[in-house]
Amino acid sequence: MTKATHQLLVSQPTLSKQLADLGTQLFIRGHRQITLTDEGEYLRARAKEIVQLADQTAANIKQEQVITGTLSIGAGESTGMQRIMSILSGIVQDYPDVQLRLVSGNADEMESALKHGTIDFAVLMANRSLEQYHHIQLPESDHWGLVMRRDDPLGQKDTIQPSDLVGLPLMISEQGLEEHRFQNWWGNLANQMNIIGTYTLVFNAQLMVKQGSAYMITFDNLINNSNQSELTFRPLEPAISETTNLIWKKNIVQSKVTKLFTQRLIASLD
């Protein structure tokens, strides 16, 4: 508390009163340390978002004539990100003062971050309503399939059908499972699917597949599918695919760097 008062240039009674005025207990005092309550953890997380947003805003308006500031994009794993990364690479080469911030997460997490203003853009690979956002649909699409060890018998098939997966230990995209993305594909075999877990990042889940203890349903082009890889990918049949959309909030004034990004993205589609 003493260090906090020195940094904030206020007296300790003033700071104690401000904390008390919040009307809830933020921490529990110990002998030599304090422990945050659930409310305190919530306040700390939101305060970090607020400070981050303030810093980003200040950086974006730092210089009027030069394109600078931070460009933040949140996305899941998708082949469409290759186009976006190419555009970002060009921007930082042309404008060295631009800083990039890339955030990974599922569609719900990215929409939440966009609404709170902690990212400028979100890339969604899901069938969601986009009416409340500006959006650009990318030409790239993602196709669902099965990742398995290369020496697995299923690797001899060109495509994977629901009957091939009955009883197998499956790792499924958390978002895909929550949105019942495979419900129609399973059909009347849904109750025979052995889903042992979910994932949000392919890299971690593929480690389970390499161990031979699971199969993973994911997008194509997210694993090393060369002949030297331990893993291989086979598309689902009937095919399931997802569109890729870049979204940003309506009714906001874009910074110069965010305008530049959208302009270059649109130009890349011609």
pTM confidence score:
0.74
What confidence tens digit (pLDDT) does each residue in 107-124 have?
889 999 999 999 999 999
The candidate with the shortest Cα–Cα distance to 222, out of 78, 47, 88, 83, is: 78
User: Would you call 119 exposed, middle or buried from its count of C-beta atoms within 10 A (0-12, 13-18, 19+)?
Assistant: buried
> Dihedrals φ, ψ of 28, to 5°?
-115, 125
Radius of gyration of the chain (CA): 23
What confidence tens digit (pLDDT) does each residue in 175-234 have?
899 889 999 999 999 999 999 999 988 998 999 999 999 999 999 999 887 778 899 999
**Alpha-carbon distances of 10 from 5, 33, 51, rounded to whole Å:** 5, 21, 19
The strand pairing partners of 74, in sequence order, are 103, 122
Residue 5: what residue type?
Answer: T
